[in-house]
Amino acid sequence: MHNIPQISVIIPLYNEEQNLPLLHKELVAVLKDLNKSYEIIFVDDGSRDNSFETIKGLLREDENIVGLSLSRNFGHQVALLAGIEHSSGETVIMMDADFQHPPGIIEDLYNKYSEGYDIVNTRRIDSKKTGFLKRATSKLYYKLINLLSDVKIEPASSDFRLMNRKAVEAFLRFREKNRFTRGLISWMGFRQTIVEYDASERFSGKSKYTVRKMLGFGMDGITSFSSKPLRVTYYIGFVIVILGLFYALYAIVQHFRGATVPGWTSILVSVLIIGGVQLLSLGIIGEYIARIYNEAKGRPVYFIRETATK
């Protein structure tokens, strides 16, 4: 058994073979500069390209690499967890494989840790290089999540951060399956700080977060930290019932005054509104139930197909 490294770098990746060799080179340069012992854990999240072969190739040059290959694509958040669970370092640094999290910032993260912080988060300074749509939707999303949920989540935060062992042990006690890491981290407490960095463009390939994955991720963020949507449904239902009562009263009075008209429009409108509210409520309840169901099954969060080490 080798000694405990000072830094474990964790890199979840999905189809990133083009980025890996250069990323590894830059990481090693930064870590050597820092003069710290390290391990680099590449978590291959079921890539369809030759990412894992590339990792094995790198392992031949650098014995501080650990390659984990998940049995299928489980998603970024789960891949992160797999990496963290297999890390042994005094500190853990998690980052993306596409250079959007510049390796050069690792030094700043480590310095903050040396100052005594348990968790060092990062904030992306939004340069024009991040796509307009991504910036706008991300901003809107964080507004919404902070409005709805009980934990505060920094806008423009990402899963690029350092944690010390104490924080990692705490983090590993979360057993939920729909994981929204930055929310969990915020909820944890400990001594946290933020380092800013300038986001660069993806080095190679395109974003692995499809619109569908983004929406799922967004829903996880809201439903795992807030039950307010459930309550909103209740309020809307309540208001509608009161209004409906008045409307019914009015209709009855009109009936006895003999002023009834065919009234197709009003019937249609009320049926549509009530139907709409019901569908909406059911949808929200469904989202939560889906998550309860997911947790209740108690399934393993991921499987590892292959491990590559020296």
Among 141, 190, 209, 217, binds ligand UDP (CB under 6 A): 209
The piece of 25-33, 73-81, 82-90, 287-295 that touches ligand UDP (CB under 6 A) is: 73-81
Q: Is 98 in the site for Mg ion (CB under 5 A)?
A: yes
Among 71, 127, 207, 227, binds ligand UDP (CB under 6 A): 207
- Asked if 36 and 106 touch (Cβ cutoff 8 Å), the reply is no
Among 41, 59, 68, 79, binds ligand UDP (CB under 6 A): 79
Handedness of CA 195, 201, 202, 204 (dihedral sign): negative
Residue 80 or residue 167: which is nearer to ligand UDP going by CB? 80
Six token digits for residue 217: 């991720």
Q: Is 45 in the site for ligand UDP (CB under 6 A)?
A: yes
DSSP 55-122: HHHHHHH-TTEEEEEESS---HHHHHHHHHHT---SEEEE--SSSSS-GGGHHHHHHHHHTT-SEEEE
Mention every residue, 6+ apart, whose C-beta is less than 8 A from residue 52: 44, 67, 69, 306, 308
Number of residues lying near Mg ion (CB under 5 A) = 3
- Asked if 149 and 142 touch (Cβ cutoff 8 Å), the reply is no
- Asked if 112 and 189 touch (Cβ cutoff 8 Å), the reply is no
What's the closest the beta carbon of residue 101 comes to Mg ion, in angstroms?
8
DSSP symbol at 104: G
Q: Is 221 in the site for ligand UDP (CB under 6 A)?
A: no
Number of residues lying near ligand UDP (CB under 6 A) = 16
What's the closest the beta carbon of residue 214 comes to ligand UDP, in angstroms?
8
Give the E-state strand segments of 50-145 in sequence order.
65-70, 91-94, 119-125
SS3 44: strand
Q: Is 75 in the site for ligand UDP (CB under 6 A)?
A: yes
Among 40, 55, 59, 76, binds ligand UDP (CB under 6 A): 76
Q: Is 163 in the site for ligand UDP (CB under 6 A)?
A: no
Residue 12 or residue 183: which is nearer to Mg ion going by CB? 12
Site residues (vs ligand UDP, CB under 6 A): 12-14, 16, 45, 73, 75-76, 79, 96-98, 100, 207-209
Site residues (vs Mg ion, CB under 5 A): 96, 98, 100
